[in-house]
Homo-oligomer: A and B are copies of this chain.
Amino acid sequence: MARIVMKFGGTSVADLDRIRNVAARVKHEVDAGNEVAVVVSAMAGVTNRLVGWCQQLSPLHDAREYDTVVATGEQVTAGLTAIALQEIGVEARSWQGWQIPLRTDGAHGKARIDGIDGGELIRRMQIGQVPVVTGFQGIGPDNRVTTLGRGGSDTSAVALAAALKADRCDIYTDVDGIYTTDPRIVAKARKLDKIAYEEMLELASVGAKVLQTRSVELAMKERVRVQVLSSFDGANALGGDLPGTLVVDEDEIVEKEIVSGIAYSRDEAKITVRHVPDRPGVAAAIFGPLSEAGMNVDMIVQNVSADGSTDLTFTVGRTDLPRAKATLAEHRAKIGYAELLADTEVAKISVVGVGMRSHAGVANTMFAALASKGINILVISTSEIKVSVLIGAEYTELAVRALHTAYGLDAA
């Protein structure tokens, strides 16, 4: 017997038939003797419609009213799911954020969870009742409904799992797990049985958008074991058991791969600031204004100085590029650069693995593999468990396939 939080996203509850499937899946876990709590998102499309209404009425609408409107999506799904469960003989009741209560801070529209009183839900689960909890929402210090921001239902589920001391938090999605890389690019991509929190964070932030980054951070902090699995897979939908990928502490992973996955992102743009004076404070002069304007700078490389001047190259989110150029132009006199170059035809390729900590030569394998395919590296950045390179966007697929083979990740 285990205590499990099961979370179903918008596409998994998109219509009444899918809600019935969700109920059948929950019943399967209940019948297996588990204590189960369910977290649901709004039916697919509903949140977008509600958000659209708020924006049409007022582009600068009151975030508290926005939350009042938007939180109804999850409330509907929670009630309907409870009805679907009762209909097939599973005792269930819906819980809204304010009823639990699931307390958040007062940052309406992007609130953070302060705490969940899990006592009553645990009592209900122990007598065989399934709580069906609205994801994405809570109650703020002002006694008003708050929402956690888009994708917040994953975070709700992980936080609830922590509060309920659950053995596992199962996140049902439209993929059946975490892969070594994008299977649409590499046919031999393998589903991972386990992945470490840190690896998942690096993968999430570079484009493998399966779990919300916040939910993974929270899982890592609270040591919640998260399983990513498919709600559409035949076996799971029909009550079978097709395991997904477990996101766990790296200590749980006995056979650590040096590299667990290859990620890519085409959402970057490269900026080169040419001929800036090579003196203390110039980096601050460049990155300070960008940071103040709310733009994240990712990879940074500074050329070796020549003649007292240097070039700085870095990446920003592609959608931020026009703003970044405008900001730098505005501060040109203070920075003192000769020329500004921008390139959007770039891609960031990252190899990720906690095994890197104890292995040298990981970056070298990457550089050699890319060189052998004639791919030029524009920028390099590294962290403890990740090596990222920026390359021409046209080489994305070629690079990902070459690296997948080079690190021995191809399925047999």
Contact = CB atoms under 8 A, between A and B. Distances in A.
Nearest to A99: B143
Given A64-B93, A86-B58, A99-B144, A50 B76 contact: yes
Contact of A84 (B58, B79, B86): B58
A69 B80 contact: yes
Contacts of A62: 82-83, 86, 93
A65 B53 contact: no
A39 to B, nearest CB: 15
A75 B72 contact: yes
Given A72-B72, A98-B98, A99-B144, A54 B66 contact: no
B79 A65 contact: yes
Contacts of A50: 76
Interface of A: 16, 19-20, 50, 53-54, 56-58, 61-62, 64-69, 71-72, 75-76, 78-80, 82-84, 86-87, 93-94, 96, 98-99, 143-145
8 contacts: A16-B53, A53-B80, A54-B79, A54-B80, A54-B83, A69-B83, A71-B75, A99-B143
In order of increasing CB-CB distance, the 5 nearest A-B pairs are: A69-B79, A68-B79, A72-B72, A58-B87, A65-B79
A50 B75 CA distance: 12
A76 B67 CA distance: 10
- What is the oligomeric copy number? 2
B87 A65 contact: no
Contact of A79 (B56, B66, B86, B98): B66
At the interface, is chain A mostly helix, strand, loop or mixed?
Answer: helix
Contact of A94 (B65, B82, B96): B65
A58 B76 contact: no
Nearest to A144: B99
Interface centre among A62, A64, A96 (most CB of B within 10 A): A62
Nearest to A132: B65
B96 A83 contact: no
Contact of A83 (B65, B80, B87): B65
Given A93-B64, A93-B65, A80 B99 contact: no
B94 A56 contact: no
A50 B46 CA distance: 13
Contacts of A54: 79-80, 83
A86 to B, nearest CB: 6
Contacts of A16: 53, 56-57
Contacts of A64: 93
Contacts of A86: 58, 61-62, 65
Contacts of A80: 53-54, 57, 65, 69
A87 B69 CA distance: 16
Contacts of A83: 54, 57-58, 61-62, 65-66, 69
Given A53-B16, A143-B99, A76 B69 contact: yes
Given A54-B83, A61-B87, 16 more contacts: A16-B53, A16-B57, A20-B57, A53-B80, A58-B87, A61-B86, A62-B86, A65-B79, A65-B82, A65-B93, A66-B83, A67-B79, A68-B75, A68-B82, A68-B94, A72-B75
